[in-house]
């Protein structure tokens, strides 16, 4: 017996706002039935004595420690700027008609 019916596929398609043709309903019903059967087989294998895991191998944090380091001084940052005005980066205006 199929785990999902043609009518259920049509209902799912309506919920997902998909326009499926009649021939597609049968095709997707078969595909979804294979998926649901496979999930059911995996559920049968799962044992209560096996703890749930997010990964089959133990993982360690691969990121470096978050250590605060000094940044550029204002003068050093502005020295690399193509244009400076009032101790700030000067950039071209990109929006017209706005008051300052």
Q: What is the pLDDT of residue 48?
A: 75
Task: Report if residue 1 sits inside a domain.
Answer: no
Q: What is the pLDDT of residue 1?
A: 58
Task: Report if residue 13 sits inside a domain.
Answer: yes
Task: Report if residue 98 sits inside a domain.
Answer: no
pTM above 0.85, yes or no: no
Domain that holds residue 35: 6-45
Question: Cβ distance 25 to 32 under 8 Å?
Answer: no
Q: What is the pLDDT of residue 13?
A: 93
Question: Cβ distance 89 to 83 under 8 Å?
Answer: yes
Q: What is the pLDDT of residue 99?
A: 61
Task: Report if residue 89 sits inside a domain.
Answer: no
Task: Report if residue 60 sits inside a domain.
Answer: no
Q: What is the pLDDT of residue 98?
A: 61
Tens-level pLDDT at each residue, the chain (100 residues): 567 888 999 999 999 999 999 889 989 999 999 999 998 888 787 677 777 777 878 777 778 888 999 999 989 999 989 999 998 999 988 887 666 5
Task: Report if residue 33 sits inside a domain.
Answer: yes
Task: Report if residue 63 sits inside a domain.
Answer: no
Task: Report if residue 31 sits inside a domain.
Answer: yes
Domain count of the chain?
A: 1
């Amino acid at each position: 017996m199929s785990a999902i019916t043609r009518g259920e596929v049509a209902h799912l398609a309506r919920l997902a706002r998909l326009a499926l043709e009649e021939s597609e309903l049968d095709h997707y019903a078969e595909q979804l039935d294979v998926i649901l059967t496979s999930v059911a087989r995996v559920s049968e294998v799962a044992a209560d004595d096996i703890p749930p895991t997010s990964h089959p191998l133990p993982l360690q944090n691969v990121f470096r420690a978050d250590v605060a380091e000094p940044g550029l001084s204002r003068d050093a940052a502005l020295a690399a700027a193509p244009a400076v005005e009032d101790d700030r980066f000067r950039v071209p205006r990109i929006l017209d008609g706005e008051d300052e």
